[in-house]
């Protein structure tokens, strides 16, 4: 077995099997023969004799490697393909059911195409009703089935003949499923818990119950979970999984959750939504994806015919249990042929949740034909520049190893080979591509991984983690060293261009760099250079240790006079016109002087009319830091502790916002970094 990332949770063994195939070919009867459970649970299904919604059943494994095998019985009628897609979104194996007396039908072919588009790893073709036909008809049906699967992505699929009354054939199929589960059913409970809701209802005495398939992670009794579409926090009061009450449900399992919350009566938990343990997930209207046209089969035989996918095609998007209309914006070509893969942006009419690796299917505007499918690459894409070369490079890097068959592989980090799962491969590819680093918080949301797992990847790949305030970025050591060298060269060039200035402030330095650099990585690099005394910080500016620039005697004399104004003023710095009166100079002359002192790190410009010394600003920042600990960092609270009038308080807090010490959220502010931050 390939090595999994260090620290991965222990594997559990559960396998989900979905049936697929034409209406009335015996899918529900087959599941009943295997499990003893009739999955036609709805009265209308009983009345009409066909499956409308998803049915579920479980089969014990007689102590084999799998705890149990769960079956999803999906509808076969053409009108119910939408429900069928919801059922096969997270399965390990599909049973393609074909009646011996009918042979492959239109829905058989479409279901096979959908299984291929959704990345199902394996298919067993089950020929039912074999007792109703003679051997010649059986042989003819098998030949048609063989031609069908030979033209699909599952040419190695075996064909098994059964009938509901043939106990031996049913038992042989059952053993095949158990043998498959022993080899293929290992799933790792990595990432945040996610459940795609397919039903929601109320139970007398219990309250709200939702059902669905756990897509990732695990959920336990009393866990706090989050309804993504409703932005509501809920509590898990009960769990029913694998046909019994349990304390925990894990990825790959079918389960029902009894949930409660203070606002439960005012929210609508419905099909298409998600429940998750990560309240950072969000619904979006745009998804960047890898896409391929559907392999369309002619109804008369088992051959493909061309079905080009064109730019800006209108479609119905089916992702997990959600279904929304969208437009397909191809990013690299104006069209794609069957068998080709390309990058695209899906622009949806309604928001829906998604993460990297989620599979989807697209049907045409009338929702009658499957036209394409693929996998989500970036669920939080930038609004602009979707087709720029740099953006396409990022998407190709993010798309590394998303297929189920290649979940573990060797990647190269700084010339060393490292084993990594698909998420680790994507992070490694992005770190190599992005010289200025990768936003680890954004990556965690895109790939649905937890902080602990991000830390494990960073340790495994020897990533330099830059954290300033609430932001955390990762960067390759080689890129990190290159940035610091570039910073020193840029500062040296600044001194040459500005010989009479003490140094450059942080923002001047960042803008002078030949390549754009993110704030978090840049400030961390500055801090490390200061720590190793490769550059010096003097108030608001940074300077090379061997470069000197001093104020002349006249400016030093004026500075002594200014100190007599600033020191007794305390938290309320003098206005420019007050300074003008004391110095006997015009406002314009005073502003020129004050900006000279700013350039030498003696003062900071807070607003057009106020300048502060570094010492007073850091004292005020410490006061704000203390307020934030009590969750009471408002304008009025800061006014009370500082003794400053409201208008000046607002100017100071806006300065702190610009300096990224604070961030305003509604009427409050949160502290983004330590009060000893480098003020710009």
User: What are the φ/ψ torsions at residue 446 (nearest 5 degrees)?
Assistant: -60, -40
CATH level 3 topology of 283-398:
Elongation Factor Tu (Ef-tu); domain 3 (2.40.30)
Which pLDDT belongs to residue 414?
Answer: 46
- 3-state DSSP call for residue 498? coil
Within this chain, domains 194-276 and 283-398 share the same CATH topology: yes
> 474 with 383: CB under 8 angstroms?
no
Which pLDDT belongs to residue 54? 59
Distance separating alpha carbons of residues 132 and 128, to the nearest angstrom: 9
CB burial of 111-127 (b: ≥16 within 10 Å; e: otherwise) equals: bbbbbbbbbbebbbbbb
Residue 540, pLDDT score: 72
Cα 498 from chain centroid (whole Å): 45
Phi and psi (nearest 5°) for 135?
A: -65, -35
Give the residue extent of every domain in the chain.
Answer: 11-188, 194-276, 283-398
Angle in degrees, 0-180, between the axes of helices 389-398 and 422-433, rounded to the nearest 10? 150
Helix (H) or strand (E) holding 418: strand 416-421
Q: Which of 116, 117, 42, 131 is nearest to 80 (CA)?
A: 42
Distance CA(295)–CA(151), nearest Å, equals: 9
SS3 content of the chain, % helix, strand, coil (to 5): 35, 30, 35
**CA–CA separation, 2 vs 420, rounded Å?**
9
**Dist CA 9 CA 188 (whole Å):** 6
Cα–Cα dist 232/209, whole Å: 15
Please give the pLDDT value at position 297: 56
Along the chain (680 residues), what's the average pLDDT of each consecutive run of 10 residues? 30 69 87 77 47 61 59 65 60 89 89 85 92 93 93 90 89 90 63 90 87 88 95 93 83 85 88 93 95 71 60 94 94 92 96 92 87 94 94 92 44 49 90 94 94 92 85 93 95 86 85 88 92 85 81 85 91 93 91 85 89 91 87 88 92 88 85 66
pLDDT at position 491 is 93
| Residue 499, pLDDT score | 78
Strands (E), 166-220: 186-188, 194-203, 207-216, 218-220
11-188: CATH topology: Rossmann fold (3.40.50)
**CATH class assigned to 194-276:** mainly beta
Is the CB of residue 220 less than 8 Å from the CB of residue 236? yes
Please tell me the pTM assigned to this model.
0.78
């Amino acid at each position: 077995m390939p090595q999994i990332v260090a620290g991965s949770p222990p594997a559990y063994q559960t396998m989900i099997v979905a049936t697929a195939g034409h209406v009335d070919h015996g899918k529900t009867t087959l599941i009943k023969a295997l499990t003893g459970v009739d999955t036609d649970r709805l009265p209308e299904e009983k009345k009409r004799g066909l499956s409308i919604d998803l049915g579920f059943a479980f089969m014990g494994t007689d102590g084999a490697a799998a705890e149990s095998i769960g079956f999803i019985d999906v509808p076969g009628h053409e009108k119910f393909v939408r429900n069928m897609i919801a059922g096969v979104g997270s399965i390990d194996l599909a049973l393609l059911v074909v009646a011996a007396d009918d042979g492959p039908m239109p829905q058989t072919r479409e279901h096979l195409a959908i299984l291929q588009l959704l990345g199902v790893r394996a298919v067993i073709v089950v020929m039912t009703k074999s007792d109703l036909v003679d051997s010649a008809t059986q042989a003819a049906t098998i030949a048609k089935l063989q031609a069908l699967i030979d033209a699909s992505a599952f040419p190695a699929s075996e064909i098994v003949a059964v009938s509901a009354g043939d106990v031996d054939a049913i038992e042989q199929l059952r053993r095949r499923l158990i043998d498959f589960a022993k080899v293929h059913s290992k799933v790792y409970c990595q990432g945040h818990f996610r459940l795609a809701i397919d039903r929601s209802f109320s139970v007398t005495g219990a309250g709200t119950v939702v059902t669905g398939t756990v897509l990732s992670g695990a959920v336990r009794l009393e866990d706090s979970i989050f309804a993504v579409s409703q932005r509501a926090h809920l509590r898990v009061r009960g769990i029913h999984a694998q046909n019994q009450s349990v304390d925990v449900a894990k990825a790959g399992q079918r389960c029902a959750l009894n949930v409660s919350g203070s606002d439960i009566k005012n929210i609508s938990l419905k099909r298409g939504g998600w429940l998750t343990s990560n309240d950072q997930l969000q619904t979006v209207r745009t998804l960047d994806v890898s896409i391929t046209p559907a392999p369309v089969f002619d109804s008369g035989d088992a051959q493909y015919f061309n079905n080009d996918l064109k730019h800006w095609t209108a479609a119905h998007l089916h992702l997990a249990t959600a279904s929304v209309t969208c437009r397909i914006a191809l990013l690299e070509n104006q069209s794609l042929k069957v068998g080709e893969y390309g990058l695209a942006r899906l622009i949806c009419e309604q928001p829906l949740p998604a993460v990297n690796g989620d599979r989807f299917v697209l049907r045409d505007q009338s929702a009658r034909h499957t036209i394409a499918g693929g996998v989500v690459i970036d669920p939080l894409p930038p609004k602009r520049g979707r087709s720029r070369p740099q953006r396409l490079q990022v998407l190709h890097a993010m798309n590394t190893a998303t297929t189920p068959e290649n979940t573990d592989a060797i990647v190269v980090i700084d010339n060393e080979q490292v084993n990594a799962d698909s998420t680790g491969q994507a992070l490694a590819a992005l770190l190599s591509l992005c010289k200025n680093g990768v936003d680890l918080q954004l990556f965690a949301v895109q790939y649905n991984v937890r902080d602990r797992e991000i830390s494990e990847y960073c340790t495994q790949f020897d990533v330099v983690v830059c954290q300033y305030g609430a932001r955390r970025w990762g960067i390759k050591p080689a890129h990190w060293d290159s940035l610091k060298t570039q910073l020193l060269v840029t500062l040296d060039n600044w001194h040459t261009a500005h010989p009479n200035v003490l140094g450059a402030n942080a923002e001047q330095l960042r803008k002078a760099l030949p390549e754009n650099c993110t704030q978090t990585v840049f400030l961390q690099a500055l801090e490390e250079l200061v720590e190793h005394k490769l550059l010096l910080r003097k108030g608001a500016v940074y300077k090379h240790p061997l470069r000197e620039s001093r104020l002349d005697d006249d400016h030093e004399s004026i500075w002594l006079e200014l100190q007599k104004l600033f020191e007794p003023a305390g938290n309320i710095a003098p206005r420019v016109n007050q300074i003008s009166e004391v110095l006997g100079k015009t406002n314009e002359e005073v502003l020129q002087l004050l900006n000279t002192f700013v350039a030498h790190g003696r003062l900071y410009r807070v607003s057009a009319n106020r300048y502060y010394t570094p010492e007073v600003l850091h004292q005020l920042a410490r006061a704000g830091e203390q307020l934030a600990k009590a969750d009471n960092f408002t304008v009025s609270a800061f006014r009370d502790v500082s003794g400053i009038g409201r208008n000046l308080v607002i100017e100071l807090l806006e300065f702190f916002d610009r300096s990224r010490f604070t961030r305003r959220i509604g009427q409050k502010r949160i502290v983004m970094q330590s009060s000893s931050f480098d003020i710009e």
